[in-house]
């Protein structure tokens, strides 16, 4: 999955730190990130602090991977130098590129998650004052009413529904075009298991049993924390598809499963696991 970057290690603890000339600085504009893609080496390169043209600008420390530090450009008016080979990409475009390593793609996804949070939270929702960066933890704080806002994380579930030697495969009506599993966001007051039951009933009209947790995944495109579950159909296996949400929902045997074009998602790993014949 996208977070599988071993032997590299991701450090997300907060600290106040200024960038060195060689440190990576993420520059986002309209949700796109400034990056160079080397098709021969299948690598991503992001600009360094020294590449930005400005006498005075600030960058926020985001995280480290191994001994490499990553920062976020704070001032949208600052522009990087016209670097050869660099251009703006959406994260979905980066995800579709052949890459020799997950490290820089995972860094871009993680940076996007924080950029989106910072960009969406400029003013206090209680008193409308401009928010400031907290000095002791990763939070935004109102200098007037002292309200604190922490990075947004949306819990959601991915559900592999098993029916003997078949699994229920879906395709969304809009958006992602490849094979998927039933999925959805957790509502207030719900446990993850209750979310699984509700989403299955809403999307495909099935009762389920034997809900079992598999694995989790951060998914920065939607600021999600995904929790994967397998379960078994309970009784009638006739699918009653929500046609507003899905354009396809069918029971598919192991050898008929069409996997997604890359190995970044929890959904694809769960489909791949079932396809391999592993008892889930």
Give the pLDDT of residue 147: 96
Which pLDDT score is estimated for 76? 62
Backbone angle region of 70, left / alpha / beta, with phi > 0 → left and psi within -120 to 50 → alpha: beta
Q: How far apart are CA 89 and CA 91, in angstroms?
A: 6
Contact criterion met (CB below 8 Å) for 26 and 111: yes
The residues near 228 (Cβ < 8 Å, ≥ 6 apart) are: 157, 158, 159, 160, 213, 214, 215, 216, 217, 266, 267, 269, 270
Q: What are phi and psi of 200, to 5 degrees?
A: -65, -45
Size (the chain), residues: 280
Task: Give yes or no for a cis peptide into 64 (omega within 30° of 0).
Answer: no
Q: Which residues pair with 161 in a beta bridge?
A: 231
pLDDT attached to residue 79: 67
pLDDT of residue 149: 97
Low-confidence residues of the chain: pLDDT under 50: none
pLDDT of residue 23: 94
In order, the DSSP letters of 213-234 are: EEEEEEEGGGTEEEEEEEEEE-
> What pLDDT is stored for residue 52 in this prediction?
80
Q: 């592999």: which residue's tokens?
A: 160
Q: Is 107 helix (H, G, I), strand (E, B) or coil?
A: helix
């Amino acid at each position: 999955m996208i977070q599988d970057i071993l032997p590299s290690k991701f450090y997300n603890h907060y600290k106040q730190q200024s960038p060195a000339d060689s440190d990576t600085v993420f520059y986002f504009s309209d949700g796109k990130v400034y990056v160079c893609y080397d098709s021969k080496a299948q690598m991503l390169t992001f600009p360094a602090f020294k590449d930005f043209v400005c006498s005075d600008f600030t960058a926020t420390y985001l995280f480290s991977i191994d001994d490499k530090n990553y920062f976020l450009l704070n001032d949208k008016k600052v522009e990087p130098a016209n670097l050869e080979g660099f251009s703006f990409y959406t994260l979905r475009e980066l995800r579709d590129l052949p890459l020799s390593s997950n490290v820089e793609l995972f860094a871009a996804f993680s940076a996007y998650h924080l950029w989106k949070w910072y960009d969406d939270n400029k003013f206090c929702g209680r008193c409308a004052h401009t928010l400031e960066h907290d000095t002791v933890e990763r939070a935004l704080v109102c200098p007037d009413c002292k309200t604190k806002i922490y990075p947004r994380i949306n819990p959601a579930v991915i559900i592999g529904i098993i029916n003997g030697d078949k699994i229920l495969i879906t395709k969304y009506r809009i958006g992602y075009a490849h094979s998927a599993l039933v999925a959805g966001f957790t509502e207030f007051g719900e446990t993850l298991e209750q979310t699984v039951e509700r989403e299955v009933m809403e999307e495909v009209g099935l009762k389920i049993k034997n809900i079992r947790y598999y694995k989790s995944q951060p998914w920065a495109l939607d600021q999600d924390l995904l929790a994967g579950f397998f379960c078994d159909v309970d009784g009638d296996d006739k699918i009653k598809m929500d046609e507003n949400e899905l354009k396809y929902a069918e029971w598919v045997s192991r050898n008929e499963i069409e996997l997604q074009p890359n190995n970044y998602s929890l959904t694809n790993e769960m489909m791949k696991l079932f396809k391999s014949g592993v008892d889930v």
